Structure 1
């Protein structure tokens, strides 16, 4: 009986060790996902026309907007949802950028309830030029969207020039998005 006592004592710590190991892995994953130096996810759509869409506007549900309606000036398409915790982290960064008025920022509300999206914008503010809604997620498939937040830079002609997966940060805007904007302006015919 005395031989089993040490074994029971060491077994008592096993659940604590397992929980600590899982916690360390979760922490490491979160820290890696917040790395502002990670590269933008390559997309087969870069350099190609933005997928055709016809989506309702969040604040005017009877109004439909198409991809052609947004042509004529570049825009940043930002995929978000009220259910997305990373979108909440990104929102102040996106708001500061939208306030610079360097570019139209178009919201792409993905798989959300209308009331939830409206409440979220009322609570955190609306930095968007316009918010398109994809309640069923069908348009998102054509864009290759598989999570939120994701952000696309679309030029005046409707061609996708850049994609970023994950929450935008000031560092990402400074090191990736702004150089792409400078390049778009340099490519404009005089």
Structure 2
């Protein structure tokens, strides 16, 4: 007789605790402060895929999961280009896409990626905890995950969440 009440109270308590995060709409990553999961990429046309070693080059960088069929990826693309123009290395992971369509997207929109590769079956995305595109990770110079953002990078998100990390603050989120 008390079991339904206990279940309801437990659910409400879990929901309350989950809402106490700094930004309850943003999904945290289990990898914050830990080494980035392995890079498992195939070449995307003539582009050379990046490797685990590229993530440990001493510089803060972004790893961006994207696809040509993703409308929000088109929205964030000018912001990725602006970050790339500033000299911020961005490593692209083309997620479950056709090579020709991905290359067409880059020809049309521009290529902000220092290096990029294809994840045609979504294996790398699964290992990184990606649940949809676009998703972007901030990786420190030692290859550790500092932050994850699910959704398109807007100017507000860049200014409030990414900029402090890109400018050298290393608190993992």
SS in 2 for 1:161: strand
Shift of 1:96: 1.3
Distance (Å, rounded) in 2 between the aligned partners of 1:64 and 1:126: 14
Contact 2:60 2:141 in 1 (8 A): yes
- Kindly name which structure, 1 or 2, has the bigger radius of gyration based on alpha carbons: 1
Structure 2 CA distance, aligned partners of 1:64 and 1:97? 20
Cα distance 1:179–1:39, how it changes in 2: closer, same or farther (>3 A)?
farther
Q: 1:180, CA displacement in angstroms?
A: 1.4
In the alignment, the residues of structure 1 paired with residue 42 and residue 98 of structure 2 have an alpha-carbon distance, to the nearest angstrom, of 13
2:49–2:116 contact (8 Å) kept in structure 1? no
Asked whether 1:149 is paired with 2:107, we answer: no
Task: Give the conservation status (yes or no) of the 8 Å contact 2:135–2:149.
Answer: yes
Q: How does 1:31-110 map to 2 (within 5 A)?
A: 40-60=26-46, 63=48, 65-72=50-57, 73-101=59-87, 103-110=88-95
Give structure 2 stretches of 5+ with no counterpart: 1-22
Structure 1's consecutive aligned runs of 4 or more residues displaced over 6 angstroms after TM superposition are none
The equivalent of 2:145 in structure 1 is 160
Distance 1:128 1:78, change over 3 A: same
TM-score where L is the length of structure 2: 0.78
Provide the C-alpha distance between the structure 2 equivalents of 1:105 and 1:88, rounded to a whole number of angstroms: 16
Cα distance in 1 for partners of 2:24, 2:71 equals 19
User: Deviation of residue 165 (structure 1)?
Assistant: 0.5
More helix as a share of residues: 1
SS at match of 1:151: strand
What SS does the corresponding residue of 1:177 show, helix, strand or coil? Answer: helix
Number of equivalences? 148
Decide whether the 8 Å contact of 1:57 with 1:65 is kept in 2: no
Larger relative strand fraction: 1
Q: Which residue of 2 aligns with 1:8?
A: none
TM-score by length of 1: 0.72
